[in-house]
Amino acid sequence: MKKVNSILMIFAASLIGFTSCIEGNDKPVIDTDLDNNSSVLVNSNITSNTTWTTGKTYVLSGRISVTSGNTLKIEPGVVIKGEVGTGSNATALVIARGAKIDAQGTASSPIIFTTVADEIVPGQIASPNLEPNLSGLWGGLIILGNAKGSFAGDVTEIQIEGIPPSDTNGLYGGSDDTDNSGVVKYISIRHGGANIGEGNEINGLTLGAVGSGTVIENVEVIGNQDDGIEWFGGAVNVKNAIVWNPGDDGMDTDQAWSGTLDNFIVITGSETDHALEIDGPEGSAIAGHTLKNGTIKGNNTAEFGDFRDGARGTFENLYFFNFADPATTEGRGDLSISGDKSIANFADGSLKFIKLEATLAQGVSLSTVFKGGTVASATEVAAEANTVGANKAAFATWSWAAVSGQLTDLK
């Protein structure tokens, strides 16, 4: 999490000439044109099996939950837009414990989550009017399950960040690591991360205690004010994920998530803190996770990664490039292990690094970047000479990052 910037949400909304001014949590007037059957306003929780159909745009008027026992099916090409709001008025789509999402886009027809400030319509991939670094214009997608997490006090369930405690649809956690929250394929989540309180924003994709029976593949998060994707416990596996312009961290893991992220790209933005933030367990459960086959593109201020608070897991076949010299950026641009617990886990192999490669800034040595002994797993390579990293072909055609040329300098 991070503290938000100033009035970007208001500024961005004004760019497109809404018919009413936005002040505080006021919402813009939106012409949903419901009579033409192409746009549908969603203003209450989903309490029965529901289908959102191809060719339509669905506008979330607030925090919308799919309640336990029900399935929301989202057909290929659907566009979901969240109204502008912060605090208790922040919009989000929440898949509560016991509910399911069936969002199966395709490579030729992805499902897009965005803001009402976006003029995109079904059939488009790139926004016609918004820049990919605009953030905080709505909330995000939150999926919650019944799998295990490592929580303080060894409780079995807690409230997910970004959802007020009064909303019990925000509870996550349990004992079933094989829990099934549905299927998510070929989706792009944009311009989210609305602020619900001081230093408390919603991630692009939040996965709280999601079980391994859930399928998540081909996911893009762009311009989110907080983290791109954050895992809170659970055992779900994620394949083919790309995060571009995160406002805080690219990939963030917490509470002993035990799954695998395979084939991923992080493209840092001007406000990115860490490309990777890996946090340890909070209770006695100490499962670790795996991140493998990743390409991470830095900038002048972002950090490779921060492994802290008893971080555990395996990090394999990762390629880092375009980061600054840590000596000139107050310690930014490196990979660090912080805290006695994390350092001990690295020493006993509970925190493991395998085949890290990096193209470094001129004159920078590996030992300057890879701290705490991680240099033993690292190799410096010439530009575009990496032998590890992501397969960017998995993101071709359907992702905004690909169609805008952001992947051209990735090997």
Residues facing residue 111 across a β-bridge: 187
The per-residue pLDDT for range 23-36, each reduced to its tens digit, is 223 333 334 444 45
133: its two tokens? 């670094």
Percent of the chain with pLDDT over 70: 90
Question: What's the sign of the alpha-carbon dihedral 26, 28, 29, 32?
Answer: negative
Question: For the chain, how far is it from start to end, CA to CA, in angstroms?
Answer: 31
Helix (H, G, I), strand (E, B) or coil at 18: coil
Taking residue 74's Cβ as centre, other Cβ atoms within 10 Å add up to 24
Burial environment of residue 328 by CB neighbours within 10 A (0 to 12, 13 to 18, 19 or more): exposed
DSSP 8-class letter at 367: H
Q: How far apart are CA 253 and CA 69, in angstroms?
A: 27
Res 89: pLDDT: 82
Range list of H helices, 323-383: 340-348, 366-369
The per-residue pLDDT for range 323-365, each reduced to its tens digit, is 999 988 876 889 999 999 999 999 999 999 999 999 999 999 9
Q: What is the dihedral of CA 50, 45, 192, 15, to 10 degrees?
A: 100
Q: How far apart are CA 260 and CA 258, in angstroms?
A: 7
Q: How far apart are CA 335 and CA 348, in angstroms?
A: 19
Helix (H, G, I), strand (E, B) or coil at 168: helix
Contact, 309 vs 339, CB < 8 A?
Answer: yes
Domain boundaries, the chain: 8-403
The per-residue pLDDT for range 365-403, each reduced to its tens digit, is 999 999 999 999 999 999 989 999 999 999 999 999 999
Q: Pairing relation of β-strands 215-222 and 237-244?
A: parallel
67: its two tokens? 């309640």
Contact, 66 vs 46, CB < 8 A?
Answer: yes
Q: How many CA atoms lie within 13 A of 152 on its CB side?
A: 2
Res 37: pLDDT: 65
Taking residue 179's Cβ as centre, other Cβ atoms within 10 Å add up to 23
Residues facing residue 73 across a β-bridge: 51, 102
The per-residue pLDDT for range 143-195, each reduced to its tens digit, is 999 999 999 999 999 999 888 888 999 999 999 999 999 999 999 999 999 98
Distance of CA 352 to the CA centre of its chain: 23
The per-residue pLDDT for range 80-124, each reduced to its tens digit, is 999 998 887 899 999 999 999 999 999 999 999 999 999 999 999
Q: Which of 332, 266, 343, 353 is nearest to 308 (CA)?
A: 343
Q: How far apart are CA 255 and CA 152, in angstroms?
A: 9
Q: How far apart are CA 224 and CA 2, in angstroms?
A: 12
Contact, 30 vs 59, CB < 8 A?
Answer: yes
Mean pLDDT computed over every residue of the chain: 91
Burial environment of residue 189 by CB neighbours within 10 A (0 to 12, 13 to 18, 19 or more): buried
pTM comes to 0.92
Angstrom distances, CA of residue 287 to CA of 178, 250, 253, 257:
15, 21, 12, 7
The per-residue pLDDT for range 263-299, each reduced to its tens digit, is 999 999 999 999 999 999 999 999 999 999 999 999 9
Q: Which of 76, 68, 72 is nearest to 60 (CA)?
A: 72
